[in-house]
Amino acid sequence: MPYSLSRPSSLNTPSFCRDPEHNGVLAACEELGIGFVPWAPLGEGYLTGKMDQNTKFDTKTDFRATFPRMFPENMAANMPVVDILRTVATAKNATPAQVALAWLLAQKPWIVPIPGTRRVDHLTENLGALDIKLTRGDLLAMEEAFSKLKVHGERMSDMHMRQIDPN
C-alpha cells in the first residue's frame, strides 16, 4: 500500500502554490510510490470563486485573517487565477472549485486532494469534481494561462510557516 505525504509545502492547486513541482517533493513521491495529499487544495476557499477582496475574516476565529494571500489587495491581485477556473467551469458546466480539484486529480493518479469542509453542500460540490473530465487541451490551456500569472502574497503568515518549517 502506498504511503501518503501531506504537509503545507504541498501543491496547492492551479498556480496557487506549486513548490513541490520544483523542490523535488513530487519527483520523490513518484519515485518511491508515495501518495501526495495537497494541502488546502481550494486555496483556503479562495479558489471556489466565492471570495473576493471584500471578504472579511474574523481575526479571533479564522486563521486566514493572518495569511498575506488573503489580504484584500492580494485577493484582488490573484483574481485572474479564479477567472481561469471560472472560464473552464463555464465550459464544463461546473464550478471553479470542481475545476480546481479536477485539475489536481488530472496531474497524477497518486495526487489525491482532500478539501476540508464543514458543510454537506460543499462536500457534494467537491465530489462533483470526479465527474469533470479535463482534456489534454484543457490542461495545456490552463497551464499556459497560469504560467503568465504571478501569485501575490505568501500563503501563510510567518508564524504559521515557522510552525511547519522552522528553518
5 φ, ψ (degrees, to nearest 5): -120, 125
Q: 8-58, pLDDT tens digit by residue?
A: 333 444 546 667 777 888 889 999 999 999 888 999 999 999 999 999 999
Of 7-16, 100-109, 147-156, where does mean pLDDT reach its minimum?
7-16
**Regarding predicted confidence, which is higher, 164 or 35?**
35
Residue 82 has pLDDT above 60, yes or no: yes
Mean pLDDT of 84-107: 97
At 18 the pLDDT is 67
**Domains of the chain: residue spans and CATH:** 43-110+117-164 (3.20.20.100)
Mean pLDDT of 93-113: 95
Residue 116 has pLDDT above 60, yes or no: yes
Residue 162 has pLDDT above 60, yes or no: yes
At 39 the pLDDT is 83
With beta carbons less than 8 A apart as the criterion, state whether 70 and 64 touch: yes
> CA triplet 16, 19, 20: central angle to 5 degrees?
120
At 2 the pLDDT is 37
Interatomic CA distance for residues 125 and 115, integer angstroms: 11
List alpha helices for the chain, DSSP H.
19-22, 25-32, 72-77, 79-92, 96-107, 120-127, 136-147, 158-164
Residues 6+ apart with CB under 8 A from 82: 46, 47, 49, 96
Please provide the average confidence, as pLDDT, over all residues in the chain.
86
Residue 7, C-alpha cell as written in the block: 504537509
At 23 the pLDDT is 80
Residue 93 has pLDDT above 80, yes or no: yes
